[in-house]
Structure 1
Amino acid sequence: MATISDVARAAGVSPATVSRVFNGGRVTAERAQRVREAADTLGFSPNRVARSLRTQRASVIGLLIPDIANPFFTALARGVEDAAQRTNLSVVLCNTDEDVDKERRYLDVALAEHMAGLVVAAASRRRTDLSAAAQRGMPVVAVDRRPRAAEVDAVMVDNQHGAEDATAHLIERGYRRIACVTGPAGASTSEDRLAGYRAALRDADVPDEWIRAHTRHADFRVEGGYTAMKELLALDVPPDAVFIANNLMTVGALRALREAGVAPPGFGILSFGDVPWASLVHPSLSTVHLPAYDLGEAAATLLQERIAGSAKPLQTVVLRTSLEPRNSTAGPG
């Protein structure tokens, strides 16, 4: 079987010139004719497999999320995939584990593979770097978390408003010593949810010193919620309720409460983010509902518009949360 080098020798040109002829590159008409005649004589056919691979890469988008074990990101990923499939885009899922270095390696792979675009839930508000994608002209949509320095389209949840509503709900139900377990310092979701919690307590004239003493940062995972809750219960003045800034940490916090013999609703607990069994446990768990699927769907739709060549100004889409009060915040009485 003739190769590209055989054609190049027969036509008196370089292999690169043969490649340009069959891939639409710029070549003089005389050279292109020589190449095609040599290819016909030798029975050479362009490498369809390689060309197919290049086409496939252009129909693939990357999805970078911090933790696929979190049901929130599972639902978000489903929203991305369903929207992508409508325009025949395939999705490559990358789990960053809240690790900026791992995230950077996945970004490098996406660029090397010439993916059509990226949906990114940033590992860090301050340290996630999307500049290489911007320099290459690769469309990027930030979802759920926006890196501070990135100029990209974004689809976000109104985290601060949702957290403020949740904390105000605890106050209205009669709890007075409300603590907060939020996520890693530097993550936009952590900071925004903490800001909502603080705003509600300040409106209730709770001193800043008390708020700081009863706030814990954790890792958005079960063990982080468990450790933070144990620390709060060990304080000289322990809380009588807690606002937990994500669903997995809520699982850990509930375990710590059970071990300490403390139970809702005498001790109030409210989770920012859904858990599938929230309405099934006793007492049922109050939550802030996050539109995870809608976030993913909106992000993928926005990315598709950019891939298609949309030149509209950068957009930020903000989706609202909704409070789902249940028995775990029925009141200390």
Structure 2
Amino acid sequence: MSTILDIAKLAGVAKSTVSRYLNGGSVGEATKKKIEQAIKETGYSPNPFAQSLKAKKTNIIGTIVPRLDSYASSQTLIGIDEQLKKMNYQMLISNTSQNLEREIESIYSFANQKMAGIILLATEITDQHIEAFESVKVPVLLIGQEHEDFHSLIHDDFHAGYAMGRYVLEKGYRKIAYLGVTERDISVGVKRKQGFKKAIQEVADCDVRFYETLFNIPAAQASAKEIIDEFQPAIFVCATDNIALGVLKASYSEGITIPQNLAVTGFGGYDVTGIIHPGITTAKFFYKEAGESAARHIVELVNERNVEKLTVSKFEIIERESVDNLFKRPL
């Protein structure tokens, strides 16, 4: 693999001259031809990432993600990456492993590395986040959480929660366990639950209990087992598909048949929910498309063009076998 030094030796010029040429600096016509001929002979291909970091204005978008082992995160990142490439931008990822301190550090680190813009797949926005955003003077776009002072792209969690509530009620379910997550996560922990509550409040004779668990399957499985023993619900409405998978696992371990003895729904629309049997009824969010929109928006912001402060991504209720169709009750 040829280097700048190889080009310099072949062209008979200084390494700094080659570097200046590659970065668009002023080089004499004769020298320029020598360098171009040397590049042609060696097949040298400049590293666009390195070039961008040396430039006064980079074409790199720093993307901060709380976890990589998540369907939502991976699909969003694919959408961002594919769209940025079409626009001649690159993505640099920082995985924080759900550590808020590392998240804040990544914001400052990306700014110091002269990122053109920063995309944050956010689980919560704290005062530290706001201080960092205001300090770095770099265009910032939030995905997944909304803040009035910053550009945000969110999923329609409230209306998805409401639509799922209506769906469950129309199927005739009235003894319901809602298994959610911490309310520090406004989108998943608050808005989905608020939408669901609104649907529940529109009908009578409901016995609904609200619980919290963690995002991972083992924690959801343990929570579900306790809830089944204590409450014996007819259906679990789960704040994420991973939680729904945990409920499914707990049900099987208890010898409970889905959906005849217990129904389950989720949110997300992960691929696995359509592969397993029974398939999980879920509110599908379009993560890849959201990533593509986020990439377009951050490039617009980098180029100082107007972008709507808030963009809301669509959703769709996907009906599968985890909910019984025997209890249809019009509302």
Q: TM-score, normalised by structure 1?
A: 0.77
Q: Which amino acid aligns with 1:95?
A: N
Is the 2:300–2:307 Cα contact (8 Å) retained in structure 1? no
Deviations 1:37-85 (A, max 9, x none): xxxxxxxxxxx99976322871111111222111111110011111111
Q: For 1:279, what is the secondary structure of its paired residue?
A: helix
Alignment partner, residue 145 of structure 2 = 145
Percent identical among aligned pairs is 19
Is the 1:98–1:124 Cα contact (8 Å) retained in structure 2? no
Is the 1:81–1:90 Cα contact (8 Å) retained in structure 2? yes
Q: Which amino acid aligns with 2:167?
A: H
Separation of aligned partners in 1, 2:237 and 2:221: 13
Give the drift of 1:127. 5.2
In structure 1, stretches of 5+ residues that fail to align are: 1-22, 24-47
Farther off after superposition, 271-280 or 125-134:
125-134
Q: For 2:172, what is the secondary structure of its paired residue?
A: coil
Deviations 1:238-293 (A, max 9, x none): 21101111122222221111111122112110110122232333222211110101
Is the 2:53–2:113 Cα contact (8 Å) retained in structure 1? no
Is the 1:100–1:127 Cα contact (8 Å) retained in structure 2? no
Separation of aligned partners in 2, 1:250 and 1:328: 10
Alignment partner, residue 309 of structure 1 = 304
Is the 1:60–1:90 Cα contact (8 Å) retained in structure 2? yes
Equivalent of residue 219 in structure 1, options 198, 205, 214? 214
Alignment partner, residue 72 of structure 2 = 72
Q: Which amino acid aligns with 1:172?
A: E
Alignment partner, residue 325 of structure 1 = 319
Separation of aligned partners in 1, 2:182 and 2:51: 44
Equivalent of residue 154 in structure 2, options 150, 153, 156? 156
In structure 2, stretches of 5+ residues that fail to align are: 1-22, 24-45
Give the drift of 1:110. 0.9
Q: TM-score, normalised by structure 2?
A: 0.77
Is the 2:52–2:59 Cα contact (8 Å) retained in structure 1? no
Alignment partner, residue 204 of structure 1 = 203
Is the 1:153–1:315 Cα contact (8 Å) retained in structure 2? yes
Q: For 1:227, what is the secondary structure of its paired residue?
A: helix
Equivalent of residue 179 in structure 2, options 177, 181, 201? 181
Alignment partner, residue 254 of structure 2 = 260
Deviations 1:92-140 (A, max 9, x none): 1122233211211211211221211111122324456133233332001
Q: Which amino acid aligns with 1:164?
A: Y
Distance 1:274 1:329, change over 3 A: same
Alignment partner, residue 132 of structure 1 = 132
Q: CA RMSD in A?
A: 2.4
Separation of aligned partners in 2, 1:282 and 1:52: 48
Q: Which amino acid aligns with 1:161?
A: H
Q: How does 1:29-40 map to 2 (within 5 A)?
A: none
Separation of aligned partners in 2, 1:283 and 1:231: 22
Give the drift of 1:228. 2.1
Greater C-alpha Rg: 1
Q: For 1:278, what is the secondary structure of its paired residue?
A: helix
